[in-house]
Copies of this chain bind each other. A is one copy, B any other.
Amino acid sequence: MRDFLPSDVRKREYVIGIIKEVYESYGFEPLETPAVENIETLTGKYGEEGNQLIFKILKRGEKLDANAGENDLADLALRYDLTVPLARVVANHKNDLPRFFKRYQIQPVWRADRPARGRFREFYQCDVDAIGSSSMIVEAELCAAVSEILTRLGFNDFIIKLNHRRVLTEILVAAGIPAERDIDALIAIDKLDKIGREGVEKELLERGVPAENAKRLIDFIVSILLPKGSNTYSKILRASVSFNEANEINLKKMSDFISTNGFERSGLNELKDVLKYDEEGNYNNDKILIDPTLARGLSYYTGAIFEIALTDGDFAGSLGGGGRYDGLIGMFGKEQIPACGFSLGLERILVVMEERGMFQKLVDEGKLKLDSADVLVTAWNEETIGESLKLAGELRRENLRVLIYPEADKLAKQFKYAGQINVPFVCVLGETELAENKVTLKNMQTGEQELVSREYIASKIKAPAL
């Protein structure tokens, strides 16, 4: 787990600020839940592997019987994600919440995972969920909000892959994959980019999928306009096929493939609704791409699923994803309540922004400030410190962030400190300056110094060029 020093926190808060602003503009409201949940709330929700990764909290005082066996040692646990706490809140506070509840939640979660690049044991999730409606308006708005966030952060190569859990099942059934081989088939298909058609075919056979069905599935997958993997998306762009056209082609192929077995097509219709609302609302410009190979790990999804990918090729993972889960809330209350959400991975977004130099660009554009303060006021000697404090107060009332050198010291040392902390301006208030009721203002970037009347200092600092 990590400490975040000031410039780290400032970058995180910039990103979180944009995320909040956009979610608020879509009418999502903030929710916060405690870090600690009752252990029963969490266990059994994330599969066996997830269970192992939950941090459990030791019982306290008399409750703790060290001889009671491993399962009786803990009564509480650290939050593992933000979706299960949301489901619990919706069930617990049903009467305090509106019929349609749109909430966002940006808080840390904890997993006892082996740390890796971009994977930490404490990390933030930025979740947004709409509770209470089955309409695809929800999906369209979620995609629009996420798309707006990424655009405002400066990403221009992201796409939102869209698929549907029921459609995925229908495709596998249409290919004749036995239900118990579903997961094997998805894992094999996922490797198409890496091991090629023959490799996947071989793997499907090894995993027990009959040759004929394996061929049917692969034939279908390669006929789709986008095989999985970020490199290949560019093929579409190069071929001057817009996402709209690609989506139409893919939906047609999916529909044909499924309908050969006579399946009902409500899943496909939902996908079409999402695209229709998105287009009619002018929400996204060619950002959503139907990808029938997208599966998403979590088992609680029941409808549309999405995942964000970057196509420039420097980052293979996903920046976030989500989907519809109409069954989860019913596990905590008496009532089944439809729900759909999107989760952004803050840590990954930060990693990519750092590596792509996007923060530096924001700093250069003046949109992000990483320096510790706008100005340092020197402390000349014991007698003039009061005047330095007074000047600091004046500048703060002008909405400047003002540091005061915290003890009377040699001026050279104070300038050296200003250089170390990278503050853009220094105000020197010595006896000469005080006698004239002026301040020597030093621009630390240019090295220029000038004697400035007190009433003009703030404006000189705010707009040095004037």
Contacts and interface: CB of A to CB of B under 8 A. Distances in A.
A84 interface: no
Given A281-B393, A282-B390, A36 B110 contact: yes
Interface string A250-281: 00000000000000000000000000110111
Q: How many copies does the complex hold?
A: 2
Interface in A13-55: 13, 24-27, 29-36, 52, 55
Contacts of A33: 3-4
Contact of A30 (B13, B279, B281): B13
**Residue of A5, A8, A9, A132 with most partner-chain B CB within 10 A:** A5
A175 to B, nearest CB: 33
Secondary structure class of chain A's binding surface, majority of residues: mixed
A103 interface: yes
Given A34-B122, A283-B393, A396-B25, A133 B407 contact: yes
Interface stretch (A64-72, A150-158, A304-312, A325-333): A64-72
Contact of A280 (B24, B55, B385): B385
Interface residues of A, number: 96
Given A32-B9, A137-B407, A373 B110 contact: no
Nearest to A20: B13
B73 A392 contact: no
A99 B417 contact: yes
Interface string A391-433: 0110010011111111110000000010011000000000000
B137 A277 contact: no
A100 interface: yes
A357 interface: no
Nearest to A145: B396
Interface stretch (A88-96, A165-173, A216-224): A88-96
Given A3-B89, A372-B27, A386-B276, A137 B379 contact: yes
Contacts of A61: 52, 112
A2 B281 contact: no
Contacts of A78: 35-36, 57
A8 B376 CA distance: 37
A102 interface: yes
B283 A34 contact: no
A281 B5 contact: no
A386 B277 contact: yes
**Residue of A27, A55, A103 with most partner-chain B CB within 10 A:** A27
A85 B81 CA distance: 25
A406 B13 contact: no
A366 interface: no
A389 B280 contact: yes
A400 B25 contact: yes
A108 interface: yes
A60 B57 CA distance: 11
B5 A407 contact: no
A406 B60 contact: no
A140 interface: yes
Contact of A135 (B97, B372, B399, B406): B406
A463 interface: no
A3 B34 contact: yes
**Residue of A35, A138, A387 with most partner-chain B CB within 10 A:** A35
A342 B78 CA distance: 29
Given A27-B373, A137-B407, A138-B406, 16 more contacts: A3-B32, A3-B33, A4-B33, A5-B96, A9-B31, A25-B402, A26-B396, A35-B110, A56-B58, A57-B57, A66-B66, A98-B372, A141-B389, A144-B393, A279-B386, A282-B393
Interface of A: 1-6, 8-10, 12-13, 24-27, 29-36, 52, 55-58, 60-61, 64, 66-67, 69-70, 73-74, 76, 78, 89, 92-93, 96-100, 102-103, 108, 110, 112, 121-122, 130, 132-135, 137-138, 140-141, 144, 276-277, 279-283, 372-373, 376, 379, 385-387, 389-390, 392-393, 396, 399-408, 417, 420-421
